[in-house]
């Protein structure tokens, strides 16, 4: 943390976190890792849908991700509080590079099969979430506490920017019929994300060691910490309740087909619109950094998100749907960024990896179940009706949590780091 101690910088500007060299390196690593993951998800999803023509294949892929991510996430959170976080990031990204290289070769040779995609999805879903607690926890080590809101929001914005760039990359590389070039570019991004973390100077080890405890005990202690936290359980429950009935991001091939009668280009447009909305939402979080009622901010954003879901399912005009997707991405990003910030600000370093893992567990559980639920329901009642029903249920869930869980609506954050 030498670089941080030498600088006395105002965190008032949105880009303040970039003043720190190690944060810039960590950020660059995250960019390439996210590009690799996002490009893999859309490329493998479209390959599956084009091979089978069934939304159920994407739903099953969501189930595979769900099954693999839960144990990997918990294990990754415990490891992040035990061993060097940089080594975890490097190891996980190398696996991404290696697996995507194999898939590229199989596709080029015409030997790629559906089970290969499922197997790769299982493995890479595990490694991507295993590295997430280490990457998130390391963020709080490379910037001071007063810069954390900006750093977390910048990370979220970066994630969204990568998903805007990614559809363009996908569109260009998918001009080849077999998607071989797309798979190859994904592998290259995986290689880059493996190399970059070597240049981070800040130590990746924690000051209070948890090595003497077993991994199972560390996981258990982390879950107890989150359970006793005054804010996090309510925020996670809200995320789960809404996402399970409304998850749409990885199912754009279905919506592009059923709502707008489009194909690859429509998928790229919707994905990019969602990412643009995410950027706008994260910027709003930065601009309202002094707004104290963070719990109410999440509730407001979630309620608007639920209303937008109904509008999305009710209108089959592409340009209107694209605008709605931008708004959905913005409101979703506000909730996600605020939750991540609360985790970072209210958790000590020796618990941070596990607290982040618990946050990811809630989100991934909801995403996995939600992808399967929305995928299967789209086959039964149609994508439009699925979104409308999801919006209605989300409104009810948000109002119930608003009313019942006092901690969420009353939570306020005051930055006392300068005192």
Query: pLDDT, tens digit, for every residue of 375-418?
Result: 788 778 887 888 899 899 999 999 998 888 887 787 776 655 54
Q: Is the model's pLDDT at 348 over the cut of 80? A: no
* pLDDT band, very low/low/confident/very high, at 9 (cuts 50, 70, 90): very low
Summarize pLDDT for 248-294 with one digit per residue, the tens.
776 778 888 888 887 777 887 887 788 788 888 878 887 777 777 87
**Better-predicted residue by pLDDT, 260 or 187:** 187
Query: Can you give the pLDDT at residue 7?
Result: 45
**Better-predicted residue by pLDDT, 160 or 70:** 70
The answer to whether position 150 is within a domain reads yes
The answer to whether position 8 is within a domain reads no
- Is the pTM above the cut of 0.85? no
Domain that holds residue 226: 16-198+214-410
The answer to whether position 169 is within a domain reads yes
Tokens of 284: 């709003």
Give CB contacts under 8 A, 24+ apart, made by 119-122.
120/44, 121/44, 121/61, 121/64, 121/65, 121/68, 122/64, 122/65, 122/67, 122/68
Summarize pLDDT for 35-60 with one digit per residue, the tens.
888 888 888 888 888 788 776 777 78
Query: Can you give the pLDDT at residue 212?
Result: 62
Q: Is the model's pLDDT at 209 over the cut of 60? A: no
The answer to whether position 241 is within a domain reads yes
For the chain, what is the radius of gyration of the CA atoms?
A: 20
DSSP 115: H
Mean pLDDT of 298-309: 92
Q: What is the CATH number of the domain that holds 335?
A: 1.20.1250.20
* pLDDT band, very low/low/confident/very high, at 355 (cuts 50, 70, 90): confident
The per-residue pLDDT of the chain, averaged, comes to 81
* Residue of 211, 218, 234 lying closest to 296 (CA atoms): 234
**Better-predicted residue by pLDDT, 63 or 107:** 107
Rounded Cα distance, 191 and 95, in Å: 9
Q: Is the model's pLDDT at 307 over the cut of 90? A: yes
Q: Is the model's pLDDT at 76 over the cut of 70? A: yes
The answer to whether position 74 is within a domain reads yes
CA dihedral 181, 186, 192, 193 (to 10 degrees): 180
Query: Can you give the pLDDT at residue 3?
Result: 42
Rounded Cα distance, 323 and 92, in Å: 36
Whether 14 and 288 have beta carbons less than 8 Å apart is answered as no
Query: Can you give the pLDDT at residue 208?
Result: 57
The answer to whether position 375 is within a domain reads yes
* Residue of 130, 126, 110 lying closest to 118 (CA atoms): 126
DSSP string, 11-73: TTSTTGGGGSHHHHHHHHHHHHHHHHHHHHHHHHHHHHHHHH--HHHHHHHHHHHHHHHHHHH
Mean pLDDT of 230-240: 82
Whether 149 and 285 have beta carbons less than 8 Å apart is answered as yes
The answer to whether position 205 is within a domain reads no
Query: Can you give the pLDDT at residue 419?
Result: 46
Mean pLDDT of 360-389: 80
The answer to whether position 203 is within a domain reads no
> How many distinct structural domains can be found in the chain?
1
Summarize pLDDT for 140-159 with one digit per residue, the tens.
888 887 777 778 878 877 77
Highest mean pLDDT among 5-14, 89-98, 281-290, 368-377: 89-98
């Amino acid at each position: 943390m030498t670089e941080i101690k030498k600088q006395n910088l105002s965190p008032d500007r949105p880009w303040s976190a970039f003043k720190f060299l190690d944060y810039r390196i960590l950020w660059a690593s995250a960019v390439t890792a996210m590009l690799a993951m996002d490009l893999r998800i859309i490329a493998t999803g479209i390959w599956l849908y084009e091979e089978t023509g069934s939304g159920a294949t994407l739903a099953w892929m969501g189930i595979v991700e769900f099954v693999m991510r839960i144990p990997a996430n918990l294990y990754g959170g415990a490891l992040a509080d035990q061993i060097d976080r940089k080594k975890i990031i490097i190891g996980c990204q190398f696996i991404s590079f290696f697996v995507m290289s194999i898939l590229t070769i199989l596709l080029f040779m015409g030997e790629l099969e559906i089970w290969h995609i499922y197997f790769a999805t299982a493995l890479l879903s595990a490694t991507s979430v295993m590295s997430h607690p280490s990457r998130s926890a390391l963020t709080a080590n490379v910037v001071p506490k007063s810069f954390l809101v900006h750093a977390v929001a910048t990370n979220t914005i970066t994630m969204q920017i990568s998903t805007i760039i990614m559809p363009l990359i996908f569109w260009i590389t998918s001009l080849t019929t077999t998607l071989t070039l797309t798979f190859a570019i994904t592998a290259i991004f995986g290689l880059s994300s493996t190399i970059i973390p070597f240049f981070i100077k800040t130590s990746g080890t924690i000051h209070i060691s948890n090595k003497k405890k077993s991994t199972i005990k560390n996981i258990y202690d982390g879950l107890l910490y989150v359970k006793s936290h005054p804010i996090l359980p309510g925020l996670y429950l809200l995320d789960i309740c809404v996402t399970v009935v409304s998850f749409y991001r990885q199912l754009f091939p279905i919506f592009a087909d059923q709502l707008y009668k489009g194909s690859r280009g429509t998928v790229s447009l919707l994905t990019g619109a969602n990412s643009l909305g995410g950027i706008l939402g994260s910027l709003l979080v930065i601009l309202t950094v002094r707004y104290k009622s963070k719990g109410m901010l999440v509730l407001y954003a979630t309620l608007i998100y639920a209303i937008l879901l109904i509008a999305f399912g009710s209108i089959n005009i592409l340009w209107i749907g694209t605008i709605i997707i931008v708004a959905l991405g913005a409101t979703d990003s506000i909730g996600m960024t605020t939750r991540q910030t609360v985790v970072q600000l209210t958790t000590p370093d020796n618990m941070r990896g596990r607290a982040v893992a618990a946050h990811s567990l809630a989100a991934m559980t909801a995403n996995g179940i939600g992808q399967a639920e929305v995928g299967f329901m789209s086959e039964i009642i149609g994508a439009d009706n699925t979104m409308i029903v999801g919006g209605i249920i989300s409104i009810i869930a948000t109002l119930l949590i608003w009313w019942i869980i006092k901690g969420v609506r009353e939570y306020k954050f005051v930055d006392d780091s300068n005192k």
